[in-house]
Amino acid sequence: MKVVKGIPNNIGGTIIGRITKSLTPICFSSGVILATPHVPKWVIGFVALITTATSTATIPSVSCLVSNDFDGLCEGDIVRLGVDGTVQILWEARSFQNVLYLNDHCNSACIMCPQKVEGSLEKYHSVMTKVLSLVSASKQVAHVGITGGEPTLFLENLIDILNTCRDRFPNAGISLLTNGKTLADFNTAERIALANPNILFCIPLYAPTSREHDEIVGSSGSFDLTMKGFYNLVRLQRPVEIRIVLLQQNYRRLSDLAEYIYRNLPFASHIALMGMECSGVASDNLARVWVDPITYQQELYECVLEYHRRSMNVSIYNLPFCLLPKDIWRFARNSISEWKKAYLPQCEQCIKREECPGIFSTSVRQSSFINPIVT
Amino acid sequence: MNLTEFDELLACSEGNSSPLFLKLQAKHFMTVEDDDLAIELLATKLRTRKAYLTSFTTLHMMVITARCNCVCDYCHASSIDPEKQDVDMTWDVAKKTIDMIFQAPAPSIKIEFQGGEPLLNWEIVKESILYARFVNRFAKRKLGFVICTNIIALTPEIVNFCKKNEIDLSTSLDGPRDLHDGHRKSRDGRSSYDCFKKNLGAARLGLGYEGCSALLTITRDHLQRLPEVIDHYVEMGFTGVFLRALNPYGYAVANYSNIGYTPEEFVVAFSKALDYIVELNLAGTPFVEYYTALLLQRVLTPFSTGFVDLQSPSGAGISGVIYDYNGEIYPADEARMLARMGDKKFLMGNVMTDSYEQVFDGPVIRDLAYNSCVETMPGCATCAYQLYCGADPIRYYVEKGDVVGSRPDSGFCKKNKRILDYIFTILDQGDERIINLFWAWATRRSLSEVTLESC
């Protein structure tokens, strides 16, 4: 998530609050952080202050913020202030891509994981509960992503968050990013499915056999559990999306995987073919997992065609137009979170720049074939 | 797979990771030890394919009369002169029939009015539809009606009634005028083609183009002229044709020497006609060959297909059933025709005297189901096309005197095997445009919806 930094004053421990930029210097609702370029004389009722100026206020504050970073903060955003002066944006009021991180434990060890799951004891759950309680009730929340780590590992916490989302944002779609393994247990799958009626289960499947899939996810037995998870979800009549990260280990197998999915999981409501984000574990394993997207153009084209012929709903995530054959441009989606999305200097000359999904600013390696499209 | 690859595969120890092994494992042709998941997935795939069994009888055909105003030389139903009114279904029988139909557990029910020519006994058709709709107010099934008619006796009143009650017409067109009139002879000597053409226009005005479909019967005369017939279908505004071979029932038996042909001759003509239709599509005229489309659905997709005549166990009685004008119940049209030819072997019961259980859980339907699973039938069990095929026990009985029959030399088997051979040859040739078209047919979409080319 996006983090900016200023100079800390009087911050004894982390503070979580909702940003307001309104100049009313007195506030009576709790958990509100005033963000203002001009520090007023009196600041009453706020839990903290964020400013581009130097702060003399007695309440906790982060000051001397770069004005670009300050402008990036919006009314209603929920942030966490650290003792070191960091401002972490946990929830963007204007975004449709807000994500709740429930933990950083995982029961898989994917060789291209963009994170580093550390299994820390950090109190993610209480932070996320706090975030949800702070989201302005007047805001219409259309969508919430839930991820981790593996969010289903601490089941009670997940159920609690799902219930809260159901009660507070009854119309919000929930994308639950899970490897599906715990869902192999029908009771677990059922409890999750019943905790919120609007869940889309986003589950990765990287190859059509256990040998290949398990090698990629770094854990034997995963393929079988995930497949059983899919079947439990269809029994529960819940929609599933299949996520396929494209990497060295599977790009030659995409068409066979398409046929496997059609034959065994024809009920999938969406298939996402995803360019890899080279950060975290993936960046450590770069030599092993990296494949320049230009290499798999043909394989990607063919498998998109296979899905399309089968009337399956397919999308391409995280890949810019210049790396895709023109015939499959229409499947490319704007999938990269705004704060992570980037373009290269040469992209300025590209005529497709405005619609382009862009690249990950977080990736340590980019394709060598990112070139402006000029005709 | 060539022989070397096959030998290599056999020589490999467990835990093989050769690309060929992994490909076959993904398709569930091969497996490693103790693969519970593969068994579970295969079971699900089989269940999905056989899903048509769970809803039980969906198609219910009522023979409204055995009379007809035509004497087609291939008539399977051996139509009877219009003056003999004792072969009409009476209201008592019609009402009892509909009562029985609604005892079927199927969530969706289609009632098809057949003959003879059902319009010659229009009052009973009309009353049956009104009564069925009344019963359905409580039964709440997805209810549809089709009238199989030559539309010669179509009147504005009938069109209006069909429009109001959302009834489809299934009619017959045998191609250009000379072919049509040559085989579909009206009893009064007038051109049945002219009458068809005029009334088709009237029917389409009321019911739309989708509301009137046409069926082609292929005789010896047609074999060399199928492209011409197809052109005629296109010209008349139809969007597809079912290239259907003659069946050995009714008048078709007596006239076989004039109108019949061998399965081999049929498949040669079929293949050429299919090529012709493919070309039409690629040149921009959307037109479906429905039998190929059905087989492609089975070859290319994992889903169940509801085609009564090619199921395993046979769809006879299970998917479709026919109620004769006198209330007698048969598992298929062919069984009814056989009865008319004097053999009542497949009589399941009578709506006037028997209960639903006696009829649909009786010896006839059980015997047919037991003996029509291609998965276990000698010859079929080891056939590569078994998955796409089905059994036709009544036809086997007609040809061989036995419901299991001897399929490898039956016309049914020869025809299907060769047609599938041809479809696989085309798939194997891998012309992307044709494969796109085949996917369009298999998924019931237009060619443009399947192709990727950016416009």
The answer to whether residues A192 and A174 touch, using CB atoms and an 8 Å cutoff, is no
Per-residue pLDDT, A369: 96
- Cβ A309–B40 below 8 Å, yes or no? no
CB neighbour list of residue B158: distance below 8 Å, 6 or more residues apart: B119, B122
Which token pair is A305?
């065609």
Q: By the CB < 8 Å criterion, does A169 face chain B?
A: no
Query: Cβ contact (<8 Å) for A328 and B439?
Result: no
CA B353 to chain centre: 30
Nearest CA in chain A to B453: A327
The SS3 assignment for B272 reads helix
Gap between the Cα atoms of B247 and B338, Å rounded = 12
Q: Is A302 on the interface with B (CB under 8 A)?
A: no
Residue of A nearest to B441 (CA): A309
Q: With 80 as the cut, is the pLDDT of residue B34 above it?
A: no
Q: In this predicted model, which residue has the larger pLDDT, A41 or B149? A: B149
For chain A, report the end-to-end CA distance as a whole number of angstroms: 36
Determine the Cα–Cα distance for residues B144 and B424; give it in Å rounded to an integer.
35
What residue type is assigned to position B399 of the chain? E
ipTM: 0.91
pLDDT, residue A117, reads 80
Check B37 against A326: CB less than 8 A apart.
no
CA distance B226 to A111: 59
Distance of CA B394 to the CA centre of its chain: 15
Inter-chain residue contact A224 with B37, CB threshold 8 Å: yes
Tell which residue, B295, B288, B269, has the closest CA to residue B417.
Answer: B295
Q: Does B36 touch chain A (CB under 8 A)?
A: yes
Is residue B92 helix, strand or coil?
A: helix
Q: Is A270 on the interface with B (CB under 8 A)?
A: no
What is d(CA A139, CA A93) in angstroms, rounded to the nearest whole number? 8
Say whether pLDDT at B36 is over 90.
no
Task: At A60, list the tokens.
Answer: 């906790």
* Interchain contact, B37 vs A328, CB within 8 Å: no
Mapped onto helix, strand or coil, the DSSP state of residue B168 is strand
Whether residue B17 lies within 8 A of chain A, CB to CB, comes out as yes
The predicted pLDDT at position A118 comes to 81
Residue A263: which of B36, B302, B452 has the nearest Cβ? B302
pLDDT of B61 above 90: yes
Residue B283, number of CB atoms within 10 A of its CB: 7
Residues B452, A209: C-beta atoms closer than 8 Å: no
> What is the per-residue pLDDT for A124?
87
- State how far residue B20 is from chain A, nearest Cα, in angstroms: 11
- Alpha carbon B63 to chain centroid distance? 17
Contacts A310 to B, Cβ<8 Å: 301, 439, 443
**pLDDT attached to residue B409:** 76
Choose the closest CB to B443 out of A256, A260, A310.
A310
Put simply, whether B44 touches A (Cβ < 8 Å) is yes
Measured CA to CA, the distance from residue B325 to residue A329 in angstroms comes to 60
pLDDT band per the 50, 70, 90 thresholds, residue B301: very high
| HSE-up (13 A, CA, CB side) for residue A141 | 28
Inform me whether the pLDDT recorded for B13 exceeds 70. no
Q: Scan for tokens 């989302």, then name that residue.
A: A165
Residue B227 CA, chain-centre distance (Å), reads: 22
**SS3 for chain A, per residue?**
CCEEECEEECCCCCEEEEEECCCCCECCCCCEEEECCCCCCCCECCCEEECCCCCCCCCCEEECCCHHHHHHCCCCCEEEECCCCEEEEEECCCCCCCEEECCCCCCCCCCCCCCCCCCCCCCHHHHHHHHHHHCCCCCCCCEEEEECCCCCCCHHHHHHHHHHHHHHCCCCEEEEECCCCHHHCHHHHHHHHHHCCCEEEEEECCCCCHHHHHHHHCCCCHHHHHHHHHHHHHHCCCCEEEEEECCCCCHHHHHHHHHHHHHHCCCCCEEEEECCCCCHHHHHCHHHHCCCCCCCHHHHHHHHHHHHHCCCCEEEECCCHHHCCHHHHHHECCCCCHHHEECCHHHHHCCCCCCCCCEECCCCCCCCCCCCCCC
Instruction: Judge if pTM exceeds 0.90.
Output: yes
- A231 vs B40: CB contact, 8 Å cut-off? yes
Residue among A206, A203, A96 at smallest CA distance from A145: A96
Which among A274, A184, A187, A275 is positioned nearest to A230, based on CA atoms? Answer: A184
Query: Would the CB atoms of B22 and A223 count as touching at under 8 Å?
Result: no
pLDDT of B309: 85
Look up residue B20 and give its two tokens.
Answer: 């060929």
Query: What values do phi and psi take at B246, rounded to 5?
Result: -65, 145
By C-alpha distance, the chain A residue nearest B448 is A309
Q: Measure in Å the smallest separation between the Cα of B284 and chain A Cα atoms.
A: 18
Contact across the interface for B27 and A259, Cβ inside 8 Å: yes
Task: Average the pLDDT over B394-423 and give the result.
Answer: 87
User: Residue B306: exposed, middle, or buried by beta-carbon count in 10 A (0-12, 13-18, 19+)?
Assistant: middle
CB contact B41 to A (< 8 Å): yes
> Residue B302 and residue A326: Cβ atoms within 8 Å?
no
Q: Which of B26, B36, B37 sits opposite A260 (nearest CB)?
A: B26
- pLDDT tens digits for chain A (375 residues)? 789 999 999 888 889 999 998 866 566 677 889 898 888 777 778 889 899 988 777 889 998 889 888 998 998 999 999 999 999 999 998 888 899 999 989 999 999 999 988 877 778 888 999 999 998 776 788 999 999 899 999 999 999 999 999 999 999 999 999 999 999 999 999 999 999 999 999 999 999 999 999 999 999 999 999 999 999 999 999 999 999 999 999 999 999 999 999 999 999 999 999 999 999 999 999 999 999 999 999 999 999 999 999 999 999 999 999 999 999 999 999 999 888 999 999 999 999 999 999 999 999 999 999 999 998
| pLDDT value of residue A316 | 98
Q: Residue B102: count other Cβ atoms within 10 Å of its Cβ.
A: 18
Token readout for A110 is 């994917």
Residues of A in contact with B27 (CB under 8 A): 259-260, 263
B455 and A CB contact within 8 Å: no
Mean pLDDT across the stretch B191-215? 95
User: Residue B21 phi/psi, 5° resolution?
Assistant: -60, -45
CB B117 within 8 A of CB B152: yes
**How far apart, in whole angstroms, are the C-alpha atoms of residue A316 and residue A320?**
10
Average pLDDT of the residues in B355-378: 94
Cβ contact, residue pair A223, B443, below 8 Å: no
Contacts (Cβ under 8 Å, ≥6 apart) of A72: A2, A4, A89
CA distance B260 to chain A (A): 39
Asked if the model's pLDDT at residue B439 lies above 60, the reply is yes
A260 at interface of B, judged by CB pairs closer than 8 A: yes
Q: What is the side-by-side order of every strand in the sheet holding A15-20?
A: A3-5, A86-91, A78-81, A15-20, A32-35, A48-50, A61-63, A7-9
**Are B452 and A208 within 8 A, CB to CB?**
no
Best of A264, A265, A313, A316 to disrupt the B interface (most B CBs within 10 Å) is A264
